[in-house]
Structure formats: structure tokens, C-alpha cells
């Protein structure tokens, strides 16, 4: 039996924690410069790293039935949660009418539809040599910003902007990641994180939306050619930050390694809690910089809970369209019920 690679499980757990943490921080970025700077640091690498890993694991795209399997894994859950979130927002924000638009992804659901497109695009780009394919993908990502119709609809902007990172992940090998795992590089990585945080804090001119890749240059309100240079500058920043992140990821099995396999569950489910938090009075207690540690702790607990065996067992039919975990959960519950019933009867 092939031994599982815990490095990527560890990376995915840490990244999904940062996704949750980043979404909590988003509530306060306009109130506190320290939080805003930390938020931007996280966004330089957390989704890019997720995308890179997704590309790395897409090497089997030529296998028979791959696209059908990918569509089942991504598009069907996307449509289900697009509908669920539409109802959720309708009641949460007391909207005058219910709108369900499958082509305009709610909030974080963009990743599912973009991930499907990235897998499809591999059929064209993987035919070229890595240098040529990556160069072409970067050029398209830069040029696409000139077209106003390429925006959040169908997640087209993010699909093109982040595709080079997905493609890079596809071309990378395991050794490329493992070369980063040295004590010297770990120290350099920590210094890089601190330096980038300091730059964001003392020179807060970079709009965080440049890190989202969701808007055209015109929507960003910047002269198109200058905007293209900004986007061009974000790529090396993200690459450096991703390399720094991967250098700090433990290679061995940890207490959270197994939970890293359930990152999709956390990604799809945590939005309900974030949205409720943003409209509740609870957020008024987290407006200062000292709240960062408490928000981090809440994010970590939520990540653990949503990736736990119990939660994934209940959510599996919606997310994976399977019931293996659900059946196992009810079997365990049945065993416990019989045990305590017999114990109660015997007494």
C-alpha cells in the first residue's frame, strides 16, 4: 500500500485554517491597519498555494473519465451550495426576492468552478513545453485584465488570473517542494514573512483587491497599462510567499494531518459561520489588534470542527455525493446505543 504524503495534507490543513482566519479578518480590515496588513500577507499566498497544490494533483487528467469525475466532484457540489447559499443569504439579509444564478458564484464558491475550468484547460496547455505553456498562461492572465466583461461572472477573471499558478503546480514535482525543507530556508522564510508584513504595514498603498484577481483593470480604477504592471508584480510576490510557506510546512505526520484531507468540507461550510458573524453583534468585540489571537483561536477551532469525522460524516452526501462516512457514523451510533441500552437494562 502506497504511503500517504503527509506534507500536502499538512499544507492543506494550514491553508484552510488561513482561509477561515482570513475571512474573519476581512470584517475588520477597514478599522485597523495591523489587521489589514496581516490580511494582505495571508492573501499573497494562501489561495495561490491551494491552487498550486490542486495543479500538482491534476497530473492524471489524461485518464479515462477524469473530466466526468472532476465535474461530479466540483460542479454538482457547486450547484448544490450555490442554491443553499442563495436561500441562506435570502433569509440572513432579508432580501426582497430570492435569486438563484448558477453562473454568478457566491463568495468563496468561485474556487470550485475555476478549479473545474483549470482542469479542462490542461488539455490544451499541457501539450506545450512547460516554459512555453507557463509563458502563454501568464501573458493571457495579464492581457485579460483589459477586457471589462471578464469579471466575477462565471469566475472568469480569477480563472485566467490564477491559472498560471495551477499550471505551475501541474509541472512541479515532489522534489521541488522538498528542496525547500531545510532549516536555513525556514529561517529565511520567517524573515520574508516579517518583511512583507512590515512593508504592507508601513506602506499600505497596495489595494487588497489586487490579490483577489477578480476584477478587470478598469474596475480597479487604475490606468490599464499601469494596472498590468501591478498585476505582473503580484505574481513574483505570490511565488516568493508560497515558497516561504511551503518551507515551513512539516513533512512528517502531525495531529492535524488526517484533517487536511477534509479541506473542501471546511471551505464549503465555514461561510455560513462567517456570514452570521459579520451580521451579528458579536463582531463588535473584535475590533482591536489584540483580538487577532482570539480570532485565530476561533478560526482554528472552527477548522478542527468542520474537518472532524462527525461533521464530514453528516455533510458527505452533499459534498462528495457519497454516504460511506455517514453509514459508518450511524453504525457507531447504533453500537453505542445498544451498549448503553444493555447497560441500562442490566441495572
Give 62-96 as a 3 state SS string: CCCCHHHHHHHHHHHHHHHHHHHHHHHHHHHCCCC
**pLDDT band (50, 70, 90) for residue 338:** low
- In terms of Cα–Cα distance, which of 2, 10, 1 is closest to 258? 10
Residue 174 lies in a domain: yes
Q: Which domain, by its residues, includes 34? A: 6-307
Give helix 66-92 / helix 263-279 axis angle, nearest 10°: 10
Cell of 163: 491559472
- Between CA 215 and CA 153, with CA 147 as vertex, the angle to 5 degrees is 50
Question: What pLDDT does 339 receive?
Answer: 65
121: left (phi over 0), alpha (psi -120 to 50) or beta: alpha
Residue 347 is assigned to a structural domain of this protein: no
Over residues 231-259, the pLDDT tens digits come to 999 999 999 999 999 999 999 999 999 99
Instruction: Give CA angle at 240 (139, 304), nearest 5°.
Output: 110
Any residues with CB less than 8 A from the CB of 178 and at least 6 apart, and which?
Answer: 7, 251
Q: Euclidean distance between the first and final Cα of the chain, in Å?
A: 46
How much is the average pLDDT of 169-180? 95
Whether the pLDDT of residue 213 is over 80: the answer is yes
Q: What is the largest CA-CA distance in the chain?
A: 81
Residue 344 lies in a domain: no
Whole-prediction pTM: 0.93
Per residue in 113-166, pLDDT (tens digit) is 999 999 999 999 999 999 999 999 999 999 999 998 888 888 999 999 999 999
Question: Would you say residue 347 has pLDDT above 70?
Answer: no
In a domain, 16, yes or no: yes
Q: Is residue 40 a contact partner of residue 208, using CB atoms and an 8 Å limit?
A: yes
In a domain, 120, yes or no: yes
Which pLDDT belongs to residue 341? 65
227 or 285: which carries more pLDDT confidence? 227
Q: In this predicted structure, what is the pLDDT of residue 4?
A: 77
Residue 14 domain-assigned (yes or no): yes
Dihedral of alpha carbons 129, 173, 247, 296, sign: positive
| Residues 175 and 5: beta-carbon distance below 8 Å | no
Indicate the pLDDT class of residue 288, thresholds 50, 70 and 90: confident
In a domain, 119, yes or no: yes
The pLDDT of 71-77, averaged and rounded, is: 93
Burial (Cβ within 10 Å: 0-12, 13-18, ≥19) of residue 16: buried
> Which string of b and e fits 67-92 if b means at least 16 CB within 10 Å?
eeebeebbeebbeebbebbbebbeee
User: What value does the mean pLDDT of the chain take?
Assistant: 92
- Within 8 A by CB and 6+ apart from 59, the residues are 170
Tell me whether residue 264 is in a domain. Answer: yes
Cell of 190: 520567517
pLDDT of residue 2: 59
Lookup: cell for 339: 451498549
Name the packing angle between helices 324-346 and 309-319 (round to 10°): 140
- Indicate the number of domains in the chain: 1
Amino acid at each position: 500500500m502506497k504511503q500517504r504524503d503527509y506534507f500536502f495534507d499538512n499544507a492543506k490543513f494550514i491553508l484552510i485554517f488561513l482561509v477561515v482566519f482570513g475571512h474573519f479578518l476581512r470584517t475588520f480590515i477597514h478599522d485597523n491597519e495591523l489587521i489589514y496588513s496581516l490580511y494582505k500577507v495571508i492573501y499573497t499566498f494562501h489561495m495561490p498555494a491551494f491552487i498550486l497544490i490542486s495543479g500538482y494533483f491534476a497530473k492524471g487528467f489524461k485518464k479515462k473519465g477524469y473530466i466526468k469525475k472532476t465535474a461530479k466532484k466540483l460542479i454538482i457540489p457547486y450547484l448544490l451550495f450555490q442554491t443553499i447559499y442563495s436561500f441562506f443569504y435570502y433569509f440572513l439579509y432579508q432580501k426582497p426576492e430570492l435569486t438563484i444564478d448558477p453562473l454568478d458564484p457566491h463568495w468563496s464558491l468561485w474556487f470550485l468552478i475555476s478549479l473545474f475550468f483549470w482542469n479542462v484547460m490542461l488539455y490544451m496547455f499541457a501539450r506545450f513545453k512547460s516554459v512555453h505553456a507557463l509563458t502563454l498562461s501568464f501573458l493571457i492572465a495579464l492581457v485579460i485584465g483589459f477586457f471589462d466583461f471578464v469579471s466575477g461572472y462565471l469566475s472568469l477573471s480569477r480563472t485566467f488570473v490564477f491559472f498560471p499558478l495551477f499550471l505551475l503546480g501541474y509541472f512541479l514535482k515532489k522534489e521541488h517542494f522538498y528542496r525547500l525543507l531545510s532549516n536555513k530556508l525556514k529561517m529565511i522564510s520567517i524573515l520574508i514573512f516579517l518583511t512583507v508584513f512590515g512593508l504592507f504595514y508601513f506602506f499600505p498603498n497596495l489595494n487588497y483587491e489586487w490579490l483577489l484577481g477578480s476584477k478587470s483593470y478598469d474596475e480597479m480604477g487604475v490606468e490599464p497599462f499601469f494596472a498590468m504592471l501591478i498585476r505582473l508584480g503580484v505574481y513574483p510576490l505570490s511565488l516568493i510567499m508560497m515558497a516561504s510557506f511551503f518551507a515551513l510546512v512539516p513533512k512528517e505526520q502531525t495531529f492535524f494531518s488526517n484533517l487536511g484531507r477534509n479541506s473542501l468540507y471546511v471551505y464549503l461550510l465555514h461561510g455560513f459561520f462567517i456570514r452570521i458573524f459579520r451580521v451579528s453583534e458579536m463582531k463588535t468585540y473584535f475590533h482591536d489588534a489584540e483580538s487577532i489571537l482570539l480570532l485565530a483561536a476561533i478560526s482554528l477551532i472552527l477548522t478542527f470542527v468542520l474537518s472532524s469525522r462527525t461533521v464530514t460524516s453528516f455533510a458527505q452526501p452533499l459534498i462528495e455525493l457519497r454516504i460511506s462516512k455517514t453509514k459508518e457514523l450511524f453504525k457507531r451510533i447504533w453500537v453505542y446505543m445498544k451498549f448503553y441500552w444493555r447497560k441500562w437494562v442490566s441495572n
